[in-house]
Structures are given as structure tokens and as C-alpha cells.
Amino acid sequence: MDVFVGQEHQNESTELAVLGGIILSPEQYHEVVQVGLTGKDFYVANHEVIFNALEDLIFSGKPVDIVSIEEHLTKNGTSFFYEVLAPSEKGYDDLVKRRITNIRLTIVE
């Protein structure tokens, strides 16, 4: 069986547990990054986006909750979603809204 590089250790449940732990106890973020975890380490793209949003919120001293995460992603949609579709392309706003909805569901999960 062929294994794709970078997929040997993927575990969606573990990624969700890390994100959930940070949302419930934002101080845990510092422990997570001490072991070298970054947004790029997440296999699931939405998990990377959530982690990066959490990081931004924590460093800016803002609350870390579902409302703050959603507001942050909405205000900073271009920086988080640019790789999916260029902001100048037709349908960009709808794509961002759909992705934020998917991310909201992930956070609730």
C-alpha cells in the first residue's frame, strides 16, 4: 500500500481535540506551540484555518470563542481563503461564507 508523504500520522480526531482544547483553555495554546505545532501541521485544511485564527486571537488578546473566531475569519477572509479563489473572482464572497459555515460546524463538533 502506498502512503502519501505527510499522511502517515494524520488523525482528524486528534486535530479536533487539539483545537477544542485551545478553545476551552486558550492558555493551552502556548504548550502546544512549545512542542513545535503550527497551522501547517494540520492535515485538514479547515483545522489549519481554525488554528491560525486562534493564534491571531490569542496574540491580539481577544476572546477565543466561536463568535470571535467567526468574526475574525469574516473580517480576514482574504488572508485565510485566498488560496481557494482569488478575491476578484466571481463567487468569492459566497465561497468564503460557505467555508466559514463549514468551519463553524467543525468548531461546534
What string of DSSP letters covers 59-108? HTT---SHHHHHHHHHHTHHHHHTTTS-TTSTTHHHHHHHHHHHHHHHHH
Please compute the mean of the pLDDT values over residues 59-63 and round it to a whole number: 94
CB 74 within 8 A of CB 100: yes
Residue 1 clears pLDDT 50, i.e. is over it: no
Stronger pLDDT, 42 or 2, i.e. the higher one: 42
Kindly state the cell numbers that stand for 58: 490569542
Residue 100 clears pLDDT 80, i.e. is over it: no
Q: What is the largest CA-CA distance in the chain?
A: 46
- The mean pLDDT of the chain is 79
Give the distance, in angstroms, between the CA of residue 35 and the centroid of all CA atoms in the same chain. Answer: 18
pTM to 2 decimal places: 0.73
Helix (H) or strand (E) holding 21: helix 12-24
Query: Which pLDDT does position 57 carry in this prediction?
Result: 95
Kindly state the cell numbers that stand for 11: 488523525
Residue 104 CB partners (closer than 8 Å, separation 6+): 66, 70
Residue 93 clears pLDDT 80, i.e. is over it: no
Rounded percentage of the chain residues whose pLDDT exceeds 70? 75
Residue 61 clears pLDDT 90, i.e. is over it: yes
